[in-house]
Chains A and B, each alone.
Chain A
Amino acid sequence: MTQARSLIDEGGKRTDGRTANELRDINIKVGVVKNADGSALIEFGKNKIVVGVYGPREVHPKHMAQTDRCILRCRYHMTPFSTDTRKNPAPSRREVEISKVIRESLEPALMLEDYPRATIDVYIEVLQADGGSRCAGITAASVALADAGINMRDIVSACAAGKVDEKIVLDINDTEDKEGGADMPVAFMPNLKQITLLQLDGRLDKDQFNACLKEAISGCERVYEIQRASLMQKYFGNEPELKNGN
């Protein structure tokens, strides 16, 4: 989409006061839903998302189970009060597509062959949305999956980059999403260095595409540090590790 008005001022500040490669504030709390096997609450800028994970567990109906591996079921759902205008509770086509791409972003990280005939259910509930909710959802879902003790090859970290005023910027917000030139959400496994989600909405030439991808991946790496810290805090608190040898 071609931009209508300028979204970056002369001082280089964006609509929410950030500079081009500044990430919004991120806060992750682990283990917030008591009944779930794993859970996390994330505040990513103004996005507020709760994720609950159940699994591995029995599949109902039984015929959906696969004999040689676990199935992954993923639901991205927005509460009616999460958006500017009230959203109808029935699932929209957008939610259906996002549920699918999120599932496909998490599957590569999970060792599903370890749990044949079972299912892992990931429920992403968006309580407040503000641009980049799918990335925030994936970020929280990875933490919830680790909290649930599911065998994983790596954590999945997600962040979007985009084009605003012909500049590549990191972590676009709602206004930039709606009015800007391009939006590229990316999910990345930081240790394996593999991309598991990639979408583009907008117009980017070759150089812009490369720059945008790099920017998003660097954002993912910064998100990973926060995911890691939140898990360490919950599980190990301030407990000192014994160093090698003794």
Chain B
Amino acid sequence: MSASRRSTVIVENLRKLHMKDQISNGKRLDGRIFNESRPLSIETNVIPKANGSAWVKLGNTEVVAGVKVETGEPFEGLENKGALIVSAEVLPTASPFVEPGPPDEETIELARVVDRGIRESEMLALDKLALIPGKIVYTVFVDCSIINTDGNLFDATSYAVVLALLTSKFPVYEIKDEKVVDTGKVQDPPINTVPVSITFARIGDSLMLDPTTEEEVCMDARITLTTNSEGEYTAVQKGSNGYLTIEQVLQAADIAMTKGQELRQRVISIGKKEKA
């Protein structure tokens, strides 16, 4: 059961006044314009024992994603495809308000939305990852650990997952005598497309790209849109307990497509550099 809750973080009224003042000048508290995202830094292969990994810093939000590839049973109804499982955990180091324990509704929503963006875009060609259809397939786990939060976990986590997958090395498994054998060789993952997630917060009448924690506390609504290399939307999620007008949704969708494409170029070039 989901219940409305008061925010644990309280933004000071002085900060809200300052925010209003900045907005009237087309700026945000940290000096950014509405369509500007924070500095993004990416390091890949940070967990050499994993098959792939990425450490993403989006402003002060920090996420580490790790890919582990094993074998297992396929999902029901998807006998010919490899299995992909995306999970996320907000570590208790991330903020004073996080307590250790099973994931809450926000974290579960985060993991599912990120998973959706990857799965629906078919970033990984899962049909190439079946060993014995119906019996044994590749199982790809992508686990995300959020180390520090300062807003926009959706985008930061999504970028970490995409980069960890793009730069991973999958083991090459074979079937010998009905058993799975690790040949010891490695292969590039079968990648179809590169999904990019873009998130906005609506504050008053304005849409702010890549919100910080303070902006998320003050926002009326949030929208996350994921686009793929083919110019399609593959996942969308409206969040928080306010509304969005039709114009705002269309405006956000428009910007998400352009900004998504810009960021995609950067992500792909990082992915290529790591392979070289």
Contact = CB atoms under 8 A, between A and B. Distances in A.
B47 A81 contact: yes
B44 interface: no
B68 A81 contact: yes
B8 to A, nearest CB: 11
Contact of B145 (A39, A84, A121, A127): A127
Q: Which of A50, A52, A75, A81 has the most CB of B within 10 A?
A: A81
A79 B145 contact: yes
B100 A35 contact: no
Interface in B26-60: 46-50, 53, 60
Interface stretch (B14-22, B89-97, B121-129, B229-237): B89-97
Contact of B147 (A50, A75, A77, A128): A50
B248 interface: no
B95 to A, nearest CB: 5
Interface size class of B (residues with CB under 8 A): 20 to 34
B149 interface: yes
Contact of B64 (A36, A123, A127): A127
Contact of B143 (A34, A48, A79): A79
Nearest to B69: A86
Nearest to A121: B92
B66 interface: yes
B193 interface: no
Interface in A12-44: 33-36, 39
Given A80-B66, A121-B92, A123-B100, A33 B147 contact: yes
A132 to B, nearest CB: 15
Given A46-B49, A123-B93, A81 B100 contact: no
A127 B46 CA distance: 9
Interface string B93-107: 111100010000000
Interface residues of A, number: 29
Contacts of A33: 62, 93-94, 147-148
A123 B91 CA distance: 8
A52 B148 CA distance: 10
A178 interface: no
25 contacts: A33-B147, A33-B148, A34-B148, A35-B94, A35-B96, A36-B93, A36-B148, A39-B93, A46-B48, A46-B49, A54-B96, A57-B96, A77-B91, A79-B66, A80-B66, A81-B143, A82-B47, A82-B66, A86-B70, A86-B143, A89-B87, A89-B143, A123-B93, A125-B145, A128-B47
Given A85-B70, A86-B143, A127-B145, 10 more contacts: A35-B149, A36-B148, A75-B92, A77-B91, A77-B100, A81-B66, A81-B143, A82-B49, A89-B87, A125-B145
Interface of B: 46-50, 53, 60, 62, 64-68, 70, 87, 89, 91-96, 100, 141, 143, 145, 147-150
